Amino acid sequence: MTKQIFMTVVLALAMGISLPPYGAAQAPMPGKTDPALTKLAKAWETAFNARDVAKVAAMYADDAVVMPPNHEAVRGRANIEAFFKEMEGANLTLTPFESAISGSTAYEAGTYQMSMTPKTGQPTTDKGKYVVVLKRGSDGQWRLAFDIFNSDMPLPAPPKM
């Protein structure tokens, strides 16, 4: 059996099958998007860019979890509202590339681009990807239950000593 696995790997390598190098530009992932979820993503983006953090937070379930990069998980709608309030000065573009609904659960995956001008410090630009899980509430409304995003940008170099 081990010999068969070894031969399969050797054959695959001989046929020129390879992975793209780390850090190589990747084409957007193809997929289907559900129009209702794309509309919800656009409404979230619009509220975020209008600095309406109360409206953004209202799009999350009471017990939702946001998992931002380089930050502990943010749990609960009130904490999520406070988290997004700290992002004042940011402008965001969401580009969903796949979403689907199954019963009362849905997901969406996409990319984002964000520019931020903080009250103090230098303006920054970020781009990355996200995945959200949504649940339909008893009122029939979709709300974000889990929201995770991470940057494509490399971490800054550590300070020289």
**What's the CATH code of the domain at 70?**
3.10.450.50
> Per the domain annotation, does 19 fall within a domain?
no
Residue 118, pLDDT above cutoff 60: yes
> Per the domain annotation, does 8 fall within a domain?
no
Residue 61, pLDDT above cutoff 50: yes
> Per the domain annotation, does 39 fall within a domain?
yes
> In angstroms, rounded to a whole number, what is the distance separating the alpha carbons of residues 127 and 113?
4
Q: Report yes or no on whether pTM surpasses 0.85.
A: no
Residue 22, pLDDT above cutoff 50: no
Q: Which residue has the tokens 């649940």?
A: 135
Weakest-pLDDT range from 10-19, 22-31, 41-50: 10-19
> Per the domain annotation, does 99 fall within a domain?
yes
Residue 151, pLDDT above cutoff 80: yes
Total domains in the chain come to 1
Is 129 within 8 Å of 107 (Cβ atoms)? no
Q: Which of 42, 65, 125, 60 is nearest to 90 (CA)?
A: 125
Residue 1, pLDDT above cutoff 80: no
Sign of CA dihedral 104, 69, 74, 116: negative
Range of the domain at 144: 29-151
> Per the domain annotation, does 7 fall within a domain?
no
> Per the domain annotation, does 119 fall within a domain?
yes
> Per the domain annotation, does 47 fall within a domain?
yes
> In angstroms, rounded to a whole number, what is the distance separating the alpha carbons of residues 123 and 63?
32
Strand partners, 109: 98, 131
User: What pLDDT score was predicted for residue 85?
Assistant: 92
User: What pLDDT score was predicted for residue 30?
Assistant: 62
Residue 103, pLDDT above cutoff 90: yes
> Per the domain annotation, does 13 fall within a domain?
no
What's the chain's average pLDDT? 84
How many other CB atoms are there within 10 angstroms of residue 100's CB atom?
A: 14
